[in-house]
Amino acid sequence: MGEARGRGTTSHGGRGLRRAALVVSVAALVAVALATWALLRPAPDVGREPEGREEAEAAPAASPEEPGPEELREGLGIVEDYRPSLSHGEKGPEHQRYIVLHDTEVDAEPQAIVSSWDASGNGVAAHFVVGRDGTVVQCVPLDEIAHHAGYGDTGHNELYGIEEDGRDDMAGTVPVGEWASDYGMNAWSVGIEMVHVGGAMDYTPEQLEALDGLIAYIDAYYGFESDIIDHKAWRSGNSDTSPEFAGYLESYRTTRTHDGEAA
């Protein structure tokens, strides 16, 4: 009995403990519920979450982006000296295929070269002249045709995938012979003249860096990379570009810069 009572007492005491535990458990649940309510109550904080996500999504916009054409042009400090006598027809982006590089074969300030082209009366010019000190002068807008490439080797219209579609007014052009009867390049390209005399001087670092920047600008302006050639590729026997430029030309054709470094 004592044993039974003892068990009974033990049993009774156990029920009391369980009841106490139940009370503690209920109290704990109420405490958790209150705490949860307290946490959830500041609804405005929850409402702000989307803003936080928007900020997170907007963050990449603050990271560095590729500079646009306006920024690249501004960086070059291009001197605009447009001469209407040097423009020869419409050339929209759909008519852009090539960047043709030339040498002036005369050493002078680029502004003076543009003035001499205008004064010559034959309408010959490139869109841009890059001076020895890196100054870039533009005398024909990019959406107009400049007469810088002239006649090319017979068969070169087909070789270069271009045609004479009548947009070029051909004012002042003079045929050079049956061997060079094709005349499509001006209407499908941008011309760049570098102030340089073959065999007499090197291209300066400032000039090459300006050319790097100018090509990057032209690429950004059109939104695609034009093929880079020099004048003598279009018409064999031409002096320009000079032999000193050969290594740079190869680099431009493969990396868009004179030395393979970013412009």
Return residues touching Zn ion (CB under 5 A): 102, 231, 240
Closest approach, Cβ 150 to Zn ion, in A, equals 8
| Residue 194 beta carbon to Zn ion: minimum distance, rounded to whole angstroms | 10
> Which residues have a Cβ under 8 Å from the Cβ of 65 and sit 6 or more positions away?
none
Nearer to Zn ion, 72 or 137 (CB): 137
Minimum gap (Å) between residue 137 Cβ and Zn ion: 16
Quick one: CA dihedral 184, 190, 196, 199, positive or negative?
A: negative
CA angle 175, 152, 231 (to 5 degrees): 120
- Pick the closer one to Zn ion by CB: 72 or 186: 186
Number of residues assigned to the chain: 263
Tokens, residue 103: 């040498």
| Min dist. Cβ of residue 152 to Zn ion (A) | 11
Instruction: Give min distance, CB of 254 to Zn ion, in A.
Output: 22
Nearer to Zn ion, 72 or 139 (CB): 139
Angle at 165 between CA 159 and CA 166, to 5 degrees: 135
- Pick 239 or 259: Cβ nearer Zn ion: 239
Decide whether 72 or 214 has the Cβ nearer to Zn ion.
214
